[in-house]
Structure formats: C-alpha cells, structure tokens
Amino acid sequence: MKTGGAERKYDVVIIGSGLAGLVCGSILSKEGKNVCILEKNEQLGGSLQTFRRDGVKFDTGVHYIGGLDKGQNLYQFFNYLGIMDRLELQRMDPEGFDVVLFKDDKMQYPYGMGYENFIRVLSERFPNDREAIVAYCDELRRICDNFPLYNLRSGEFYSDTNIFKRSIKQFLEELTPNQKLRSVLGGTNLLYAGIGDKTPLYVHALVLNSYIESSWKCTQGSDQISNLIAKSIKAMGGDIFRKKNVTKIHVEDGDAQYVELSDGTQIFAETFISNVNPTRTLEMTDTDKLRKAYRSRIQSLENSISVFVIYATMKPGAWKYQNKNYYYFDENDVWKCADYTEETWPYTYAMFECVPHGQTEYAEAITIMSYMRFEEVKKWGGTFNTTVSENDRGGEYAAFKQAKAEKLLDTVAVKFPDIRNQIQNYYTSSPLSYRDYIGNDDGNMYGVIKDFNDPLKSFISPKTKVPNLLLTGQNVNLHGVLGVTVSAVLTCGMILGKDYLLEKIVSANSSVNL
C-alpha cells in the first residue's frame, strides 16, 4: 500500500468482498498467500449482506441455501473453508421446502426434499405423471454429474456437450404434455431469472439439484457466512479494508502493478482478482492487452433482470411459521414473468419467511420479491444511497415504491387474504438498492444471462490477457452461494493448480465421506 510514504506489496489483492472474493481470500490465505481484500461498502459479502428493521434481521439476497447435508457439494466446500460446523442452520420442511402457487388453482404444489421425497410428494399431486417426474429427476442428476468441479472431481471436459444446447422450457415440453406439471417443475425459476427462449437446461439443473438435495435457512442471517470467512482470513494474517473504492487497475509492461482507490491510495500486488462485474473491471483497466473485440463482447452481454422487494415485519402471533418458501404465478405460463407490463405487474412473486427466534411458532418477518426492470427506476439513476454515502432520492421515488408495494400486496392477498392485517410495518427496495449495494450497473440479480442459443457468447474465463489479472464471481461460473463458491475454486485453481486445490478440498472432507 502506498499513501505517499512506504510501500507494501501483497501477494494477492482482491477487488470486492462478495462471496467469491471472500472464498478466494480464504483459499489463498490457507496456502500462505498474503491477501488484501478491498470492499467499497461498509458491509462485506455482496448478496450475503443483511440489515435490521424493527429489531429484525433481513437477508437481502440469500434467503435459503442448498447442498449443505453431510457429504454434499457445498458442505464439502464450506467444511474445507472451516466454517461448516459454525454455521447456525435450520433444515427446511422436507415435505415441501418450496411451494408453487397459481392464481386460479386452489391446489398447492410442494417440492419434497431429497429426490425420492421429491418424486413421492409431486406424484401425489400428479398420480398419472409419476414416470415423467422420475425422468425429470434422472435428467437433473445426469446433467449435474457432467460438471466435474460441481462434484469436486478433476477434469476439464464434459462427457455430453449437448447439455449446453438445450433449454429448460424445451426439455419440459418434451418431458410431458401436462402443462400444469411443466409449470410446477419450472415454477421456481425466480432462482435463476429463467427466460423461456434463452435459459439453458443445465442452469436449471445445477441450481435446482442443490436445493432438492437439501435446503436450509441461516437462522442468524446469511451474513454469518461472510463474517465467518472474513474472520478466518484475518486470523491467517490477511487484510480486509471496508469503504475502499477501487477506481483503476494500473497495467505496465503487460502486467497489473497496482490498484488505485478513490482517495488516491495505491495498493500493489503480484496478482489481482476482480470480484466485481467484468464490465466494470474492464472500465477500470486501461491497457491494449485487453483487446477491443474482448471488451466489446463483454460489454454487449445482456444482464439478468432485477427485483422489487418488500421487507415486512409481522405483528406478534400473526403469521404462523411454515418453514417453506412460496412461488406464485398469475397464470400457468411461468416463462413470461419478465415480460410484464405496467398493467400485468406483478405477474409473479417469491415469498420467504424469516426464521423465528425463541420459542415462538410465528414468523417475525417475511420478504416478498417480484421482478422489476431497471428502466422503471432509471429516472433516479443519478442518485446513490448506501450507508457509506446516504442520498435521499426524493418524494416522487418514495411514492413510486409505495404504489408498487401496495400493488404487490394486492397480489399476495389473492392467496394470503389477511396479509395486510398481519403486517406491522414494511420497507422496500428497488433495482437501485441492488445496484448501489452489490455494484451491478443495472441492479441485476444474477449477472450475465446464459443463452442456450449461443452458449459460448456468455462464457467468461477467469483468465484475462493481463496474466496476473483474474476474474471471479457469478459471471465467471454461475450465480448463487454454490455457483460463486465453485467460481472462486476455479479462479484459485488458476493460481495454485486445480488438481492440487481439489485434492486439498477432498482431503479435508475424507472423514466426512467415509
């Protein structure tokens, strides 16, 4: 670090403290690297950030997690990081951790936990379609088995490259003529912002497989993950600096030399890892090593949609805790949610309960989210509002959010008629909140859209043409807690050797997998 005086050089500087950045910091610290993480906000963790209202902690982006049963993939990654046995978790309802709802259908459609349970529970709703449900589960597991790193296996190649060239919508249409079953199986697509004519089947499979295997709530908030990893990095001698905004990555003689902060501070390192959006990374890096064609391709990629969110605290004893999530649709077509108009919004929503504390059987709070395009809030796009840099967006913006919240609550009341009487207070966020706190220019939830029509276009390698500048995060691999963890392993494998790193992770879990 250089502030006009002595200079300190790190082995690795990581830009951004999202989960992928933190996992990279932990992995490299374990290998004796001197690590520095720079975060522009006050709170670490990206989508793992939380906040409090009325004494209740709300998760902003991670409302439940999959794959944390002993021996499952995320369990093994977290166990290697040394945080698994310190996470405070609650297993969700095995008879229906996710429930799909439709406006004019009184039936609820739950997802059972574990594949046998999933088949049994859905077959009770669709007794004539059990064979299709079994085939669906078999295909999900087959596809997931094609991804070596997802399964902590070595290997570079996929045994079936056709998995990148199929859409989830096409697959479901070929699977069964039953439109309702197709809609139910695609009914949690808010987990990956599914688009009917674009979303590949493999994205659906990798995301859903993890939750079907096991689903969990963080009882003390999702930020416990980032806090535990950050604590371990510091214990190993790493530095983590908050409220440090990187504005430039300086490249000389073909290599990145240092990053410059908004206050002029220069921080030097041997290797740099960017956990911020690739487009933003390119904007900060002025070098002809990153060719115009590469920059143009990255900048042309379409981002996923954002969301509008209600964070509601509930009256004491009002909302009976169900330990499940709800996904609602106005119609059977679950693939046109992002194509809403002002009249049809909100076509869909997802609702998540906060885990009760103490002996109560009632939820203290719920979170309700529905898709929202950034263009709806673009007129306030010149304002930035975070705890580091507070900025009142004005009365018109407040009125806009209130009108949206009331309309969303009207839709929720279709299935939960007493919802307004059960809410004590509610608070809202828009795509601007996601933009300001997460750092994506348009507040998108899941990074770059994956398109089965052109799978290579959205492929972003952790390597760049600047040899010591690497990328990590949801755009490099896949979004979500598991996706960005795998991304971090992929990035660190470029430094340490992938086979070497995988051996370390597997070895750390050898007693668990016996």
Contact 121, 111 (CB under 8 A): yes
Q: What would the pLDDT profile of 155-179 be if each residue is shown by its tens digit?
A: 766 667 788 889 999 999 999 999 9
Contact 200, 160 (CB under 8 A): no
Residue 46 CA to residue 44 CA, distance in Å, equals 6
pTM of the model: 0.95
Confidence (pLDDT) at 164: 87
In degrees and rounded to multiples of 5, residue 211 shows phi and psi of -70, -40
Residue 441 predicted with pLDDT over 90: no
Q: What would the pLDDT profile of 188-207 be if each residue is shown by its tens digit?
A: 999 999 999 999 999 999 99
Confidence (pLDDT) at 159: 66
Query: Using CB atoms within 10 A of its CB, is residue 310 exposed (0-12), middle (13-18) or buried (19+)?
Result: buried
Q: Which residue has the higher pLDDT, 273 or 153?
A: 273
Residue with tokens 């206050």: 263
* DSSP code of residue 200: B
Confidence (pLDDT) at 5: 40
Confidence (pLDDT) at 440: 78
Q: What proportion of the chain, given as a percentage, has pLDDT over 70? A: 97
Angle, helices 201-213/168-175, rounded to nearest 10 degrees: 80
Number of alpha carbons in the 13 Å side-chain half-sphere of residue 7: 8
Confidence (pLDDT) at 513: 57
Contact 71, 42 (CB under 8 A): no
Number of alpha carbons in the 13 Å side-chain half-sphere of residue 432: 22
Contact 162, 193 (CB under 8 A): no
Confidence (pLDDT) at 6: 44
Residue 271 predicted with pLDDT over 80: yes
Beta strand 469-471 with 266-274 is: parallel
Confidence (pLDDT) at 478: 87
Residue 230 predicted with pLDDT over 80: yes
Provide CB contacts within 8 A for 489, sequence distance 6+.
Answer: 23, 27, 77, 149, 498, 501, 502, 505
Helix (H, G, I), strand (E, B) or coil at 110: strand
Instruction: Spell out the SS3 assignment of 225-254.
Output: HHHHHHHHHHHCCCEEECCCCEEEEEEECC
Q: What average pLDDT does the segment 223-233 reach?
A: 97
Residue 143 CA to residue 208 CA, distance in Å, equals 11
Q: What proportion of the chain, given as a percentage, has pLDDT over 90? A: 87
Contact 13, 29 (CB under 8 A): no
Confidence (pLDDT) at 157: 60
CA separation, residue 494 to residues 78, 463, 504 (Å): 20, 8, 15
Q: What would the pLDDT profile of 50-91 be if each residue is shown by its tens digit?
A: 999 999 999 999 999 999 999 999 999 999 999 999 999 999
Q: Tell me the domains of the chain and their CATH numbers.
A: 9-54+71-88+222-301+448-508 (3.50.50.60), 113-213 (no CATH), 305-445 (no CATH)
Mean pLDDT of the chain: 93
CA nearest to 436, candidates 388, 376, 369, 474: 388
CA separation, residue 495 to residues 12, 268, 470, 489 (Å): 10, 18, 9, 10
| Number of neighbours of residue 456 by Cβ within 10 angstroms | 8
Q: What would the pLDDT profile of 450-477 be if each residue is shown by its tens digit?
A: 999 998 888 999 999 999 999 999 999 8
Q: What would the pLDDT profile of 391-408 be if each residue is shown by its tens digit?
A: 788 899 999 999 999 999
Confidence (pLDDT) at 392: 80
Q: What would the pLDDT profile of 470-486 be if each residue is shown by its tens digit?
A: 999 999 988 999 999 99
